[in-house]
Amino acid sequence: MLFKQQALLRQKLFVLGSLAIGSLLYLVARVGSLDRLQPLCPIDGRFGPRSQDEIPLRALQFKRGLLHEFRKGNATKEQIQLHNLVQQLPKAIIIGVRKGGTRALLEMLNLHPAVVKASQEIHFFDNDENYAKGIEWYRKKMPFSYPHQITIEKSPAYFITEEVPERIYKMNSSIKLLIIVREPTTRAISDYTQVLEGKERKNKTYYKFEKLAIDPNTCEVNTKYKAVRTSIYTKHLERWLKYFPIEQFHIVDGDRLITEPLPELQLVEKFLNLPPRISQYNLYFNATRGFYCLRFNIVFNKCLAGSKGRIHPEVDSSVITKLRKFFHPFNQKFYQIIGRTFNWP
């Protein structure tokens, strides 16, 4: 009797085991067939519509994986063609201003699934040697993207370089131009601080900010000092307006981008005719860093490089007052041109 029960039990276990193995083999075969079939699916069907008004959110996920591999050069021509990826000339450029927050703006805009950023400053239009290489060289410096996405690059030297407006106009007369500015005196000191840090790394001495910003012979503001000249925003913008109407520019408040980034980013989304996608979820304040960091999804977060937010050296208050008084009339003219005011002294 016991022998029969044991035999029956072994038979049942054998049947159950066979069913389990059969199910597992079916699943493996099924997944394999899906993997083989997936590349045959139309790209449009898998990633949603291409229209500018209906940006597929799934493209955001792809940007963090597939496009990252392509940027590193780990893709074949067949893979690029399969996914319908292209290297596009930028439809928008962050042209300045140096130490205004250009890197922060670019990284934050990259949160949008319809935006793909160039990871490095290209310096095509402000560098004669690069410019001589031609527009095709420039295009090949751009990241891979889907046709519906907007490629954006940033090179803050563009804003102050005389030849650049005409060169960009010849490439695309309808391009959208982004300028991010900070309070002019603060920006000039930040500019000085970055150069000072570079000198210190090389164990070189450097003049104090006061000696560079103020002409010792006249005791007036030294307009030959590059950090001062860059902060005269209206002078540079007037040169750009010879080629582009003011409607093609959007001015971003760099000071507000630090303390309250979302409203500034929403204004840029509107300027670029992008559907609103960046939300408060994508931005969180890092108390240790003192800056907002970026949240792309539940897994991937990113903070700006540690070089951001350098501590400025102490500057004589009388020099700060003199600089602010000097910049004031230029600021007023800048407000009139752009139709926006800032809380600058």
Task: Summarize the annotated binding site for 3'-phosphoadenylyl sulfate as residue ranges.
Answer: 99-103, 182, 190, 292, 308-312
The C-alpha atoms of residue 198 and residue 193 are separated, in whole angstroms, by 9
User: Which entry of 12, 63, 91, 99 is annotated as an active-site residue?
Assistant: 99
- Cα→Cα distances 170→34, 135, 164, 175, Å: 48, 10, 10, 10
Contacts of 49 (CB under 8 A, 6+ apart): 56
Provide φ and ψ at 114, rounded to 5°: -95, 5
Shortest CA distance to 326 belongs to which of 238, 207, 236, 222?
A: 222
CA distance 244 to 54: 29
**What does 133-178 look like in DSSP terms, one character per residue?**
T-HHHHHTTSPEE-TTSEEEEE-GGGGG-TTHHHHHHHH-TT-EEE
Q: Helix 261-271 vs helix 102-109: angle between axes, to the nearest 10 degrees?
A: 70
Spatial contact of 105 and 92, defined as CB atoms under 8 Å apart: no
In angstroms, the CA 321 to CA 318 distance is 5
Side by side, the strands of the sheet bearing 291-295 are 283-286, 291-295, 301-302
Peptide bond into 97 cis (omega under 30): yes
Catalytic residue flag (residue 91): no
CB atoms within 10 A of CB 4: 8
217, 139 contact by CB (below 8 A): no
8 A C-beta contact, residue 61 and residue 297: yes
Write out the catalytic residue numbers.
Answer: 99
